[in-house]
Structure 1
């Protein structure tokens, strides 16, 4: 039975939704949500969101982290509507940025990144007015996470959501994203063993949401050749990336990278299974369409 439903053991007034609720009540709210006691439906979502946003600004770091976990659950698992939460985004993200400054432990930082990531995904293109603040945050986090591959993996996943949420307006974050992407897809990078998989996925997302190909993205294609020469672990994502390059840049792409593309396809055809060969057919089809014109 959900919080606040008829017959529930707890009433809304018991959970500290009203201004001035005690910290014990506030923590009780977190514990209830974290325990996933029933669905949070209808009119209950807004007061729950208000209470958790208030707790996210509490002086106690432990309370803020508990609120962070609860907000992730609320947004990700309770189907909270955009109208119920989007008005809280500026306060939520500002509180997350401040909290991140105080944290040292990896797990705690990941909790903050998870909340930022799930809230971006939920808000979609409504994050555009906040893009600069988010860009600055991710840039700072990346610079401070040098040598912390596990944290950078989480950052790459969050950046993928950031790019996806911005959609065709994603070029506004390219000054931050593209240097990070270039480092991650370079097999000569000392951290490539840890970062390559998530970097390739970020590459795919960046192309998928690009309104057009900027020169720097076009320059990245040789990195894909180097990746595929070493192994075919990322074959499906690589094929998606190749398709996007051909579709977006067409003749310009072929003029610059035709020999590299031929080398890459030759390597695939000569070394993968029948299933892998079938996966290259969309590339051939797109090439035929481009070469017709």
Structure 2
């Protein structure tokens, strides 16, 4: 108190104090059990300075933050909590819990709770001035991550949450009493009451999950909050902002769906255009807001909301996206130095393509260069954009009505992506599959050889699961284009053949091997014959002897195949051999028939109307199924798969 804020000693004293509190915090964090003898004195010290008049004129913001963090870490520390079964608790945990229980009495908790809300939750003059001068910066002020360790507002909110969670029985009546005292409209000429209501509503929003059983939010919304949202006085914007935030906190906790139309109408009125239909107006106003704001963080938040709207309404968004589609290329260009904003644009594009379906082809002049840049590992931005760029690439292919030269050309990026062998490998395989479904002939003719080389390199050093993923792509290529697929992936097939012959131990890999070989045998018998000749030469065996070994292993390992469609495929493949007069095949006749009967049993189901049995995997017609309201319409790729 004797050292004023202007004193030259003040800064050094503050640094020394912070250093001492940091020692305490580090000691508590890394040696919680050794800290137990200090719990009582630490709590007394921190609470007295932060929550009693003892701290007035002495404390400064960083010190307050440190003290609050000290309280928070003691309250939340798992080492200080007894086990659910008290007999399983460690003695030190029981001792710490006893100290905490003795300290956090009802009066102490009540005072802490009230002071947190009525003092620390109040918006400061600086914050209110910032709101007036730069509302965007005020709205996106950093409160996430570890900001609670250094900044006062997030620190107070995190402390409130932790104390409320641990002592909700004591603090719930305190908070509800504060709410009760603020019922009804607040005088716009009373700034103190406005700030207090904002603070209390903030507390109720933060503690939404804890208050689930104690607050009838639907009634509160109808009787109180709705009216407050309709107060148009400019000074009441403080409460309007807080109420709409409060509803956002509670809407996933406790809010009846039949109240939502009423809420949407109020939201639209807050966005100053109450006369339009929900979707049209919401989307139009969001787009208008997206254009008006200048901060990257704000644009990202608006794009996130736009993405959520598009995802929610799906194809119903189509009539409303013209302006957004025209604006996004400009925003992409303007955000060249802001990769996180570009990530948000990519996410929006993903949902936009899904909503537009086949109509997304009209965006290719913008979409494809974006995908090209985002997935080009030679370009620095790929570090930020790759994951979302791959997802956009995939949904673009899935919703493409037909291949285009430009869409085909961007596959040039894939070879380098496969070399990375990163966590995005699965998405890369999905992209390859999508190209095969979209236009197998053009795709394989252009990229089959390079893709096969990449796969050969991958298979040299990859997990069993990764091996299966690679081979599934080959299997799809053989399914869609039996002749060209076998030709393009011919270098891989000897390894598959050897895997079967050697009795691959990993069942899922063996199942995939048999699936691939079944496709070749059933749909491209001449190729299988040439492969058999090649393998006999490599193995220095008679062709019939080798063929017999393969069939024997196939029959023996049929149980490795769990999917009914693959069991049926193997059965059909082996059945296709029976017309031959080859003695090897005749010797295996019983084994082949046996597995075919088993497969038949797997796929046959009884028709309840006729009492006859039919193949459940046989598609007799291609009528589009009727979709329920909750189901998404099929993509172009879904149709192609059929």
User: Would you say same fold, with TM above 0.5?
Assistant: yes
- Rounded to whole Å, the distance in 1 between the matches of 2:402 and 2:466 is 28
**1:89 correspondence with 2:279:** yes
Please name the residue that 1:285 is paired with: 475
For 2:227, the equivalent position in structure 1 comes to: 16
For the aligned residue pairs, the C-alpha RMSD in angstroms reads: 2.4
Aligned counterpart, 1:32: 246
The question of whether the paired residues in 2 share the 8 Å contact of 1:16 and 1:26 is answered with: no
Rounded to whole Å, the distance in 2 between the matches of 1:195 and 1:247 is 26
Unpaired stretches in structure 2, ≥5 consecutive residues: 1-214, 484-642
- The superposition leaves residues 177-213 of structure 1 with CA deviations (integer Å, 9 ceiling, x where unpaired) of 1111111112222312111121111111111222222
The structure-2 alpha-carbon separation of the partners of 1:110 and 1:12, relative to structure 1 and needing over 3 Å to count, comes to farther
Give the 3 Å change call, closer, same or farther, for CA 137–39 of structure 1 in structure 2: farther
Match of 2:260 in 1: 45
- Quickly say closer, same or farther: Cα 1:87–1:214, change in 2 above 3 A: farther
**TM-fit CA distance, 1:149:** 0.6
| Aligned equivalent of 1:118 | 308
Name the TM-score, length of structure 1 as normaliser. Answer: 0.81
Name the structure 1 match of 2:360.
170
Secondary structure in 2 matching 1:280: helix
Aligned mates of 2:225, 2:479 — CA distance in 1: 65
Q: CA deviation at 1:233?
A: 3.2
Name the CA shift for 1:17/1:123 in 2 (closer, same or farther; >3 Å): farther
Match of 2:377 in 1: 187
Q: Which residue of 1 aligns with 2:565?
A: none
CA distance in 2, matches of 1:229, 1:214: 26
Change in Cα spacing, 1:18 to 1:272, as seen in structure 2 (3 Å) is closer
Structure ID, larger Rg: 2
Contact 2:415 2:454 in 1 (8 A): yes
**Residues 1:16 and 1:213: Cα distance change in structure 2 (over 3 Å):** farther
1:19 positional shift: 6.6
CA contact (8 A) 2:297 2:341 kept: no
Q: 2:270 aligns with which of 34, 55, 61?
A: 55
**Aligned mates of 2:381, 2:338 — CA distance in 1:** 9
Give the Cα–Cα distance (whole angstroms) in 2 for the partners of residues 132 and 49 of structure 1.
23
Cα pair 1:243 1:283 within 8 Å, conserved: yes
- Number of corresponding residues: 263
Structure 1 position 280, deviation (Å): 1.6
How much has 1:229 moved relative to structure 2?
A: 1.9
- Name the CA shift for 1:87/1:270 in 2 (closer, same or farther; >3 Å): farther
- 1:235 to partner: Cα distance: 1.0
Task: Tell me which of 266, 278, 292 is aligned to 1:102.
Answer: 292
CA distance in 1, matches of 2:381, 2:257: 47
Higher mean displacement: 35-44 or 115-124: 35-44
Structure 2 equivalent of residue 66 of structure 1: none
CA change 1:184–1:18 in 2 (3 A) is: closer
Report the Cα offset of residue 90 of structure 1. Answer: 2.4
**1:16 CA displacement:** 3.3
* Residues 50-94 of structure 1: CA deviation (Å, up to 9, x unaligned): 111221238xxxxxxxxxxxxxxxxxxxxxxxxxxx932222222
Deviates further, 128-137 or 142-151: 128-137
1:272/1:286 Cα in 2 relative to 1: closer, same or farther (>3 Å)?
same
Which residue in 2 is equivalent to 1:244? 434
**Greater relative contact order structure (CA < 8 Å, 6+ sep):** 1
**Which portions of structure 1, spanning 4 or more consecutive aligned residues, are displaced by more than 4 angstroms?**
17-23
Hey, what's the Cα distance between the residues in 2 that align with 1:289 and 1:175?
A: 32
By percentage of residues, which structure has more helix? Answer: 1
* Change beyond 3 A, Cα 1:243–1:87: same
Question: How much does 1:151 deviate?
Answer: 0.8
**Structure 1 SS opposite 2:321:** helix
Q: CA deviation at 1:96?
A: 2.1
SS at match of 2:277: helix
Task: Name the stretch that deviates more: 197-206 or 104-113.
Answer: 104-113
Partner of 2:391: 201
Residues 17 and 165 of structure 1: CA distance in aligned 2, closer, same or farther (over 3 Å): farther
